[in-house]
Amino acid sequence: MNEILHSADAVVLASSGEGGVAFFALILFAVPFVAGWFTYATLYKRYRNQHERYQFEHTTAAERLQLQRWDTFVREKKRMRNSKIDGRNDDNSHERASHAVVREAMGPRNAQAAREAQPPRMAQEARDAQEPRDAQQARDAQQARDADPGREAEPPREG
Amino acid sequence: MTQPDQHGVPSEPEASAQAEPAAASADQHLIDTSTGRAHGHDDCPQCGSTEVSRKGNTLSLICGFCRYEWVGSRLEDTHGLGEGIGELEGRTFTSGAADISSGEDLVTLKCQGCGSEVVIDTARSLESRCHWCRSILSINDKIPNGAVPDGILPFHITKEEAIARIGEFAGARRFFALKKFRDEFKPDNVLGVYMPYMTVDGNVSARFHGKGEVQTRRYTVKTGENTHTTYYDANQFDVIRDFDLHIDDLIIESSAGRSNIDNRENTNNIINSLLPYDVKNMVAFDSNYMGEMTAEKRDLNIDDVTRKAHAQFLTMARESIRDDIRGYDRGVQWTHEDLEVHGSRWASVFVPVWLYSYAERLDNGRMMIHYIAVNGRYGNVMGSVPINKSRLWGVTALVTGLTALVAWPIGAAAMLAG
């Protein structure tokens, strides 16, 4: 026990300061709880194996082809406290990006066939039957004004 | 259940009629793996005996009467399932992966030997012995209830080997195992089961967009009398990667019960973790490979598992690009993922699993089935052993207490010394 206390004194001296001592004591207070949690989690994991799964992303054969790269410099960043980029997700391929889209070239067979068999929707018919909108009429009128030979270009403003 | 209407053919008129729409809608995308053989006798090509079985652990079948041997055909060879992934467009699927259009599990066969009628429960088995003349009757072609796959991977690990591996696995986990489990554990109760899966090939394009950073400087600044802070400088880049990916034989559960992986409710992840299997070696389905093993029926269609397959394609695409962005030592934050599935090819397969199960009644009264399972091809074993929680908590408390006995006096001494 004396050796342990001597080594503790050495650590305390190395940390030199009341803040360092308090921090060291706090760590020693927490160590038993961390050890207990670690024991429980390790044994539970060994017996129940809830984390085990098919590692399909590593074991399934896949050939990558026609890789194209674009790497464009954006800016230089200074005095960052974090050793990794904020929001890093390239190290966990199961974590989806904020915008993820998957498209299949052909929809579900039956659903696609049903969609193709559908009559044109009412909304389309209504759009076809619509009168030209006001904005379009205004554009048409504008084109007519531009084509008017009587109008002259405004002189450049001064100053 | 319906009655047979012709010799050796299951009389399922409504089922046959229902099978047509799925096949018709498939058009050119259907790979026909049907055998065209009538259900009933699956006899020896040499002598006509139905006493056909698998020869040991090989892929050969052997006639028990005249000892003639023959080997089933590999689906990859006969139907080109391993080729042309880059040319896949739309969905292509084999006969065994076609949509399930009948919920009828019982099929009545007429024995070609004596004319009697024999009922087979296809949800559990695809062979039955005629109780009158003892000849074996088999389901020899696809049926619309999903019970017959395109291919099968016969067991390679024997029951004795499986028992030994399960015993070893559980033996190494005895101390914290539930006492009832320890008392009742009998690995001899292991069962061989064929589980239904689908294999899917994918011809996909992926495009990822994000930002990456390369560290240019790392330095430590003194910020107080005894404190230091480390800072990092880095260059930020806009990163885009665009590529094609040809995925070969991703394996997907096609049984609803088994694909529901929820660790709070079940231990299906154990069976899932036995994957992968050598599906390249699957042979065209022949019920003679099954012997006395039971089988679980497929009850999911391609549409039911497409979402999961696409999510796994996307994960694989992300994984496949990791080696190309190693230069970004501070990492990459992908903000946009775009995956286009140009084509996919689906087939169904039975894979072999040795299964030991134990039902535990939880504190809330619910039953939890724990599996210890062995991959019937490679022999890898995985399992879930029910835990004696009071013993586990006791040991946890002991470790916590012993550590406190050492750590806390040191901490107190440090405080006093400081």
3-state secondary structure of B387: strand
Q: Which domain holds residue B415?
A: 393-418
Same domain, B259 and B330: yes
In a domain, residue B2? The reply is: no
pLDDT digits (tens, 9 = 90+) for A50-94: 999 999 999 999 999 999 999 999 999 999 999 999 999 999 999
Q: Is residue B355 part of a domain?
A: yes
> Is pLDDT above 90 for A39?
yes
Counting Cα atoms < 13 Å in the Cβ hemisphere of A16 gives 4
B161 part of a folded domain:
yes
Structure ipTM: 0.82
**Whether the Cβ atoms of residue B292 and residue A71 lie closer than 8 Å to each other:** no
* One domain, residues B380 and B283: yes
Check residue A79 and give left, alpha or beta (phi > 0: left; psi -120 to 50: alpha): left
Is residue B347 situated within a structural domain?
yes
User: Would B366 be classed as within a structural domain?
Assistant: yes
A-chain CB neighbours of B392 within 8 Å are: 40, 43-44
Q: To which H or E segment does residue B240 belong? A: strand B228-253
Does residue A33 sit within a domain? yes
- Length of chain A measured in residues: 159
State whether B169 and B192 are in the same domain: yes
Task: Residue A33: give the domain boundaries.
Answer: 25-49
Distance CA A49, CA B383 (A): 7
Angle (CA) A65-A71-A76 rounded to 5° is 155
| Same domain membership, residue B182 and residue B59 | yes
Contact criterion met (CB < 8 Å) for B176 and A110:
no
Contact B337 A44 (CB under 8 A): no
CB B341 within 8 Å of CB B204: yes
B39: left (phi over 0), alpha (psi -120 to 50) or beta: beta
What pLDDT is recorded for position A7? 47
Low-confidence ranges of chain B (pLDDT < 50): 1-28
Looking at the structure, tell me whether residues B400 and B378 fall in a common domain: no
In this structure, is residue A158 part of a structural domain? no
Cβ distance B90 to A106 less than 8 Å, yes or no, reads yes
Question: In this structure, is residue B100 part of a structural domain?
Answer: yes
Determine the distance in angstroms separating the CA of B4 from the nearest CA of chain A, rounded to an integer.
31
Residue B242: list chain A partners with CB under 8 A: 67-68
B359 with B302, same domain: the answer is yes
Q: Do A56 and B315 touch (CB under 8 A)?
A: yes
Pick from B89, B231, B406: CB nearest A80: B231
Alpha carbons B152 and B146: distance in angstroms, whole number: 14
Distant-in-sequence, close-in-space partners of A117: CB < 8 Å, separation ≥ 6: none
Same domain, B251 and B149: yes
Question: Are B170 and B45 found together in one domain?
Answer: yes
Q: Say if A77 falls within a structural domain.
A: no
Report yes or no on A152 lying in a domain. no
Same-domain status, B378 and B400:
no
In a domain, A37, yes or no: yes
Question: How many angstroms away from the CA of A145 is the closest CA of chain B?
Answer: 47
Counting the structural domains of chain B, the total is 2
Give the tens place of pLDDT for each residue, A98-135. Answer: 999 999 986 444 444 554 555 554 545 545 555 555 55
Question: What pLDDT shows up at residue B39?
Answer: 67
Question: B402 and B270: one domain?
Answer: no
Specify the amino acid at residue B124. R
CA distance B408 to B345: 63
Selecting from B236, B250, B269 the residue whose C-beta is nearest the C-beta of A77 gives B236
Q: Which amino acid is at A8?
A: A
Give the span between the Cα atoms of A154 and A134, in whole angstroms: 27
Q: Is pLDDT above 70 for A10? A: no
A108 → chain B, closest CA residue? B303
pLDDT tens digits, one per residue of A28-37: 999 999 999 9
Report A:91-130 residues touching B (Cβ under 8 A). Answer: 91, 93-94, 96-106, 108-110, 113
Which positions 12-71 of A are in contact with B (Cβ < 8 Å)?
A: 12, 15-22, 24-29, 31-33, 35-36, 39-40, 43-44, 46-50, 52-54, 56-71
A32 domain residue, yes or no = yes
Residue B26 and residue B112 in contact, taking contact as beta carbons nearer than 8 Å: no
Interface membership of A156 toward B (CB under 8 Å) = no
The answer to the question of residue B224 being in a domain is: no
CA-nearest residue of chain A to B250? A60
Nearest to B169 by CA among B362, B355, B369, B360: B355
**Cα distance between residue B239 and residue B252, in whole Å:** 32
Which of A:128-147 have CB within 8 Å of B?
A: none
The residue in chain A having the minimum alpha-carbon distance to the alpha carbon of residue B401 is: A32
CB B150 within 8 A of CB B348: yes
Closest alpha carbon to B386 in A154, A146, A101, A50 = A50
Question: Does A31 reside within a domain?
Answer: yes
Residue B220 domain flag: no
Asked if B282 and B411 sit in the same domain, the reply is: no
User: Per the structure, how many domains does chain A have?
Assistant: 1
In a domain, A41, yes or no: yes
Q: Residue B130 has what pLDDT?
A: 76
B159 CA to centre of own chain? 20
Number of A–B residue contacts, CB under 8 Å: 313
**Same-domain status, B416 and B318:** no
Pick A60's closest partner by Cβ from B230, B316, B385: B316
Q: What share of chain A is helix, strand, coil (3-state, %, to 5)?
A: 50, 15, 35
pLDDT for res B21 = 36
d(C-alpha A85, C-alpha A77), whole Å: 11
